[in-house]
Amino acid sequence: MVAAAASDTAAQRRAAKRSPLSVAGFKKTVSRHAEIGIFLIAALLILVFSATSDGRWANAYNIGTILQVTATLGLMSVGVALVIGTGEIDISVGSTFGMGALTYLSLVQQIDPPLAALASVAVGAAIGAFNGLLVTRTGTPSLIITLGSLMIFRGIAIALTDGFSFSVPYKMRSGAMYTAFGGDSIGMFNTGVFWLVAALIVLTAMLKLMPYGNRLLAVGGSAASAHSRGVRVDRVKLQAFILCGALAALGGTLEAGKLGFADGSMGRLMELQAIASCVLGGCLLAGGRISLIGAVMGAFVLSSIQSYLVVMGVRPQWFMLLLGLIVVFAALGDRKLRAWALKR
């Protein structure tokens, strides 16, 4: 009888550990999925914003706008997450975003939108290659290289526009091809949302199903160890920078397609929002741990906060203050949550 009772108790303990609803099960889930925290934050903010905005935040039009902003920022954020995964950082993505927008708008009136978008993405990939080659060939910290790139390409964008903006006439903002690149919505979803979903699926497959994912995280965890095991560290980092630049330019293309105009300041400070999205989403700035879906959810949270401030009539300057506070507390909260999850 005693042995049977002890056996039943042990079985119950094992079942509790396996159950995701138990404390032990939740700890295991948190330790394996870095993005849990941002999903909890997003759920809480949705409830608070919906309850306190008197319907001004939680309506179809506003949610559609939030998702459109999330799409462009999310594309940039997943690109930055890839670079962070290698233990590097790219803070030039804001100017790359702007260069992509200007390239698209300067060409879309002369050639078909898909070709203009392809040229824009190629420009972004070239900027990413520029950053990646300088980082890998010179050994200079990526923070310094990409800070220089941020200023170089922002200066080029301002010089190209010379105080004016590139724009597309209203009569040209139509047609299936222009719509496909952010120019319109399907239902409540801007077409940029579908580009984000497609990019997320492709990149997740690359990280989960292809050797590149293991190599990228191995490089971020320990470049020396990865190199000793035959991983071409410089190539992995260069590929991450190229993908980051291409995705940032694609985001700029979609934003330009939506607005129909762009100037030299396009994308200003978005690099900070992209990095904040990654931190919120559970990406480790030291490298070796990223979450693409977490980065996208981080972008959604930041877009939601910005939208809430707008509909509530709060001055937009407060967004930067909140952004800084959110990043600091998210980093501390993530550290505490993971420490709790790993504690036995």
| CA terminus-to-terminus distance, the chain | 31
Spatial distance between the Cα atoms of 330 and 281, rounded to a whole number of angstroms: 9
CB 190 within 8 A of CB 62: no
Say which residue the tokens 């492709």 belong to. 202
- Which residues neighbour 80 within 8 Å (Cβ) at sequence distance 6 or greater? 89, 90, 93, 244, 271, 274, 275, 277, 278, 295
Answer yes or no: is 317 within a domain: yes
> Rounded to 10 degrees, what is the CA torsion of 168, 261, 108, 124?
180
pLDDT of residue 248: 97
- Which residues neighbour 170 within 8 Å (Cβ) at sequence distance 6 or greater? 260
Answer yes or no: is 62 within a domain: yes
Helix axes 113-138 and 93-107, enclosed angle (nearest 10)? 150
How many folded domains does the chain comprise?
A: 1
What SS3 class is residue 85?
helix
CATH number for 274: 1.10.3470
pLDDT of residue 24: 66
Answer yes or no: is 1 within a domain: no
Answer yes or no: is 111 within a domain: yes
What SS3 class is residue 253?
helix
Answer yes or no: is 6 within a domain: no
What SS3 class is residue 98?
helix
CB 41 within 8 A of CB 301: yes
Answer yes or no: is 38 within a domain: yes
pLDDT of residue 70: 95
Answer yes or no: is 133 within a domain: yes
Q: What digits encode the pLDDT tens for the residues 18-63?
A: 555 566 665 666 556 667 778 888 898 899 999 998 888 989 889 9
Answer yes or no: is 67 within a domain: yes
Give the helix/strand (H/E) hosting 186: strand 185-186
Pick out the chain residues at pLDDT < 70. 1-34, 163, 330-331, 334-335, 337-344
Domain that holds residue 232: 34-342
pLDDT of residue 200: 95
Phi, psi of 166 (to 5 degrees): -85, 135
What number of CA atoms fall less than 13 Å from residue 223's CA on the CB side? 14
pLDDT of residue 320: 78
Spatial distance between the Cα atoms of 320 and 332, rounded to a whole number of angstroms: 19
